[in-house]
Structure formats: C-alpha cells, structure tokens
Amino acid sequence: MTAGVLTETVAIPPRASIVRRMPAHEDDGALMLRYAQGDLSAFTRLYERHKGALYRYLLRQTRQHAVTDDLFQEVWSRVIASRERYEPRAKFSTFLFSIAHNCFIDHCRRAGTAPTARAETLDDETCEALVDAAHRGPERLAESAQLAARLRAALERLPDEQREVFVLHEETGLNLEEIGELTGVGMETAKSRLRYALAKLRQSLADVRDAATIVEVTRAEARSVK
C-alpha cells in the first residue's frame, strides 16, 4: 500500500493540501503537528518512515495478510482522525503503535479470540543471560532462508504477549518503559516478556550459536516483509 492508495480510501480534508518545504531530518512530532495544520506532505513523510515497521508488527500479530491489510488501513485512518488532538508529549512511534495495539485488541474482540497466553516458568538467570547476549552486538549475520523460515515458525509459536513485546522491541526503537506503557503493563512485565521470548526463540534454534544471531536473523527476515 502506498500513501496515494491510502489517501484514496481515507478522506483527507481539503485544507490538508498545503505543501511546505521541510527540513530533511525534521522529527516525527514536528511532522505530525505540520500535518495537523494541513500539510499533506508531512503526513506522506511520516507514512513513508513508519509503514514498513507498522505492517510487520501487525503481520506478526495477526499472521494473516488480509487482516493485516485491513488493520494497517484502520491504524492510519485513526492517525488521520486524531491529527488535531495530537500532542507531542511522547514519541510519534509510541502514539502510532499504541493505536496499532488497540486496533489489534479490538480485532481480537470482534473475532472472539484471546490475544494473550500465559508464559511458562523459566529460570530468571538464564533469561538474563540471553537478553545480555542479544545486546552485546552482532558477531555475525545468518542469511540462510532456511534459518529465517525456522525463526518465523518460532515467532508464531510464542504467546501473543511475548511476540508483541519482542517485535516492538526490534521494530520500533521504543524502550521497555515505552513498550510497557503502550501495551498497558509495567516496564518489568515488558522486560520479563522479552526475556521469555528470547529464551523460547533460543530453545527453538538450539543449534544457533548465540542470541545475537537470533536478533540479527529477525531483522534480516523482517526486511523481506513489506
């Protein structure tokens, strides 16, 4: 989906046709404020910056392209509808993915499905070590299509609450405190879910040398979606 397609299916008020010259690195909050003032090019910039991560997040949650397409459209529709109420008190990405999270929850309610599952009990020391390993920095990048397919399957087996935190952490640049706020839990809960997710991925890919590789494969595989 492109910004052109989006504006065909979501009504943009006539006053949103203003186009202004913008600094190349203008931050998201400033762009959203410009859009609220009627600058359509600011919205286009935001859309181009965030469409890939948003689509991948929704696809990881729904695991269905048709549903993802509908939710993707719904999220941007809500962003457009809320433009005049937007206040840059938090990152635009927090604002955007909060809407995405709520859209997914609403979808689950409409479909009559539960969006979460309980985590298994794992040794805390082991989980801490996995998280630390994942953030020491990549030593190597596995580009194997087979490994990427295994990772996709492992991600799909994660409880929804763990997969969501993992994908948000890898896709959005939000920290754990922001992810906790976005998903309606505390930072420690978000951190715990990330630990469990990493631990389970490590168990699913037991022959992979370290957790850093898992994270790198996730990023490489993500680039193949949208």
> CA 115, 219, 93, 103: dihedral to nearest 10 degrees?
-20
pLDDT digits (tens, 9 = 90+) for 14-44: 333 444 454 556 889 999 999 999 999 999 9
pTM of the model: 0.67
User: C-alpha 8: how far from its chain's center?
Assistant: 25
* Cβ atoms of 54 and 93 closer than 8 Å: no
Kindly calculate the radius of gyration of the chain based on its CA atoms and give it in whole angstroms: 18
% of the chain exceeding 70 in pLDDT: 65
92-108 pLDDT per residue, tens: 999 999 999 999 999 98
> Nearest 5°: phi and psi at 58?
-65, -40
Confidence (pLDDT) at 204: 81
